Structure 1
Amino acid sequence: MVDYLIVGAGLAGIGLAHTLRSKGRSFVVIDDGSQKSSSVAGGMYNPVILKRFTPVWQADAQLAKLAPFYADMEDFLGCSLNFPLPVYRIFSSVEEQNNWFSATDNPLLQPYMSSNIRKNSYTTINAPYGFGEVLHAGRVDFGKAQQDYKRRLKEEGLFYEETFDYTAITSDVDGVTYKNIRAKHLVFCEGYGLKNNPFFNYLPLRGTKGQVLIIRSEELNVNEVIKSGAFIIPLGDNMYKIGATYEQDDKTQNVTEEAKNELLRKLKNFMNCSFELISQEAGIRPTVSDRRPLVGAHPEYNNIYIINGLGSRGVMIAPYVAEQLYQFIEAKEPLEAAISIDRFKRYYS
């Protein structure tokens, strides 16, 4: 008997696993590696929606949880994962500068938006109107976190690399049984794989495909995240991640020439130096129509739960919602209404 059986080892699954570890709860994880969005994503955390200069939902609460959570994970894995980085948003006009200044008057945004225009000192970046600087932002190297965490779980005998068989579940008042595993609670954290889950596929998970490029450039030499039509995230050693596309119709995880050309075109609009294209990656983000996570208990089956729908801000949201689900299960505390799957109860039959 373990306390929790977790299905999925992306941001939601590993976020929950590490939360349970910190609480002294036992668990095992099952994952087949079919979902790639967590490792493909840029791993950025940013409290400002840069398209409209508006605050991210629950930014204060998410950031308060983020720093200690990943610091604890760094201690556990013995590596660096969290890299604080300012985000430089390129202004395309004086009007955008004025909109930025207006946004800094918002009390919810004041801690996160510098009121000073950053002049462009980079010869490799086109930004004649300068930058708006987002504070308290950064990057989590979740690709490394995922790889190292799975390795540790395997060493501890807590990881099963297999495709989950939904027909092998039995549920009763005391817990669930899956093959030879008995657990008090079963939590599905499958990302876009939720579409194949007969327990929760009634939920309106849409899925948005995202593709990114990895480039190498010795000339670029930027140390901040640069955001314009695309973003540039410095990875170290003259390597940069470029992204990302948002594709609604294609639900495959195949890279495409169209997406590569789109990203290169956007990049060349504001970057003017040579670079080498190293690789291209794709994944399906688990997105929801109302842009809020999916967290809660199954309407009918005892002890079966879900964390999903973290979208494009998973590194910020995962620690926050993992703690909420834990308190919901263990302390019977109500979930925040905005994330509870009860808001979609009308779709269940």
Structure 2
Amino acid sequence: MLDYILVGAGLSGIAVAEKLIDSGKNIRVFENHSQSSSTVAGGIYNPVILKRFTLAWEADEQLKTAIPFYRSLEKKLKTSLISEMPVYRKFHSVEEQNNWFAAMDKPSVAAFLSPNLISQINPNIPSDFSFGMVKNTGVINTELLLDAYRKYLKELDVFITEDFQYDMLQLKNDQFNYKGFQSKRIIFCDGFGMARNPFFNKLPLNGNKGEYLIIKSEALKLEVAVKSSIFILPLGKDLYKIGATYNNKDKTPEPTEDAREYLLEKLRTLITCDFEVVGQVAGIRPATADRKPLVGEHSEYKGMFCCNGFGSRGVLIGPTVARKLIDFIENGTPIPSDINIRRYAKKC
């Protein structure tokens, strides 16, 4: 008898699995690697929305949970996952500079914005209106995290690589039965795969396709993240991630030529040095209309839960939301109404 079956081992699934393992629960995790949004995620943790200079939803509190969570995983997995790195916002006008300083009047935002503008951060990234630095930011190596944590689950003999066949899941005597496994509860952390999940596919999960380029430039020599109309993220060894696109219509997993040309056009207006494209990746972000996660228990099937809808901020949101879900299941602590799927009561 298992305590939990988990479906999905992306950022959501890892956060949930780690909370359960730390609590001594007996789990099995099913993952078929079909959803790549966590793999291709930028990995930047940044609490500030740099288009409007406002704090992202509960980002300051999420940051307090996320960083210790990833630090603990670094120790457990014996690998480096966090790179502290400032993010520099390139200004395009005096108005943007003024908006930056106006945002600093809000104490919650001011803690993350430097009051000192910088005229140049790199000779290959010119700006007529300087740069603003966002503090307490960095990067989670999501690709390394996923690989290392799945290896850890395999070592625990709780990881199963296969398509989850929803029609084979049965509920009998308040227990879930799936291919010989019996469990008290099941949690779906299946990302955009929820669109095929018959138990939760009526929830308003809107796939948002994101594409990134990987470039190589020996001349750029950039060691910080830069945000303009796109972002540049150093990867080391003269490699940089360039992104990202946001496409609400295309739900195909393959990279596209349109996205490539869009990112190249933006990049050429941002940097002045030579580069070559060495890769392109794409993934469907599990986004919601109100930009809040989808967390909670199915209205009909007791013991069945979902933890989804993290959008483009999964590295920040995941640890906090996973904790709130498990606290609800194990301790009866109410799930906040703004993330509870009960806000869509007629859908599930």
> Aligned AA for 1:62?
Q
How far apart, CA to CA, are the structure 1 residues paired with 2:4 and 2:290?
A: 29
Quickly say closer, same or farther: Cα 1:203–1:131, change in 2 above 3 A. Answer: same
Q: CA deviation at 1:305?
A: 0.2
Amino acid at match of 1:89: R
Q: CA deviation at 1:87?
A: 0.7
Give 3-state SS (helix, strand or coil) of 1:287's partner.
strand
TM-score normalized with structure 2 length? 0.98
Q: Report the equivalent of 2:135.
A: 135
Unaligned stretches of 5+ residues in structure 2? none
Identity %: 47
Do the aligned partners of 1:46 and 1:138 also contact (CA within 8 Å) in 2?
yes
Q: Give the residue type in structure 2 aligned to 1:65.
A: T
Please say if 1:216 is aligned against 2:226.
Answer: no
Aligned to 1:271: 271
Whether the 8 Å contact between 1:171 and 1:302 is mirrored in structure 2 is no
Aligned to 1:3: 3
What is the DSSP-based 3-state SS (H/G/I as helix, E as strand, rest coil) of the residue aligned with 2:290? Answer: coil
Provide the aligned length of Structure 1 versus Structure 2: 348
Q: Which residue of 2 aligns with 1:146?
A: 146
Name the counterpart of 1:85.
85
Is structure 2 residue 141 aligned with structure 1 residue 160?
Answer: no
Counterparts in 2 of 1:1-349, with a 5 A limit? 1-172=1-172, 174-348=174-348
- The letter of the residue matching 1:327 is D
- The amino acid across from 1:321 in the alignment is V
The alpha carbon displacement at 1:173 in A equals: 5.4
Question: 2:177 is paired with a residue of what secondary structure?
Answer: strand
Residue 346 of structure 1 deviates from its aligned partner by 2.3
Structure 2 CA distance for partners of 1:134 and 1:173, relative to 1, 3 Å? farther
- Whether the 8 Å contact between 1:175 and 1:302 is mirrored in structure 2 is no
- TM-score with structure 1 length normalisation? 0.98
In 2, the alpha carbon distance for the partners of 1:121 and 1:164 equals 48
Cα deviation, residue 217, structure 1: 1.2
Deviations 1:43-100 (A, max 9, x none): 1111101111111111121001011100111111110001111110000011110110
Deviation at 1:39, TM superposition (A): 0.4
For the residue of structure 1 that corresponds to 2:268, the secondary structure is helix
Partner secondary structure for residue 185 of structure 1? strand
How far, CA to CA, are the matches of 2:199 and 2:121 in structure 1? 54
Unaligned runs of 5+ in 1: none
Letter in 2 for 1:219: A
- Rounded to whole Å, the distance in 2 between the matches of 1:124 and 1:331 is 54
* Cα shift at 1:18: 1.2
Report the CA distance between 1:204 and its aligned residue.
0.3
> Structure 2: how far apart are the matches of 1:184 and 1:219?
57
Please say which of residues 17-26 and 109-118 is displaced more in the overlay: 17-26
Cα deviations across residues 228-279 of structure 1 (Å, max 9, x unaligned)? 0110011112111100000111100111111001001111111111112110
How big is each residue's C-alpha offset from its partner over 1:174-217, in whole Å with a ceiling of 9 and x where there is no partner? 43111111112100001000000010011000110000011111
SS of residue matched to 1:65:
helix
1:324, CA displacement in angstroms? 0.4
Equivalent-residue separation in structure 2 for 1:173 and 1:335 (angstroms): 26
- Contact 1:5/1:28, CA 8 A, preserved across alignment: yes
Which segment is superposed worse, 170-179 or 122-131?
170-179
Q: Distance in 1 between matches of 2:173 and 2:71?
A: 37
Distance change >3 Å, CA 54–CA 121, structure 1 → 2: closer
Alpha-carbon distance between aligned partners in 2 of 1:162 and 1:333, rounded to the nearest angstrom: 33
Task: Determine the C-alpha separation between the residues in 1 that align with 2:141 and 2:28.
Answer: 23
CA contact (8 A) 1:125 1:270 kept: yes
Runs of 4+ in 1 over 6 A off after TM superposition: none
Shift of 1:156: 2.2
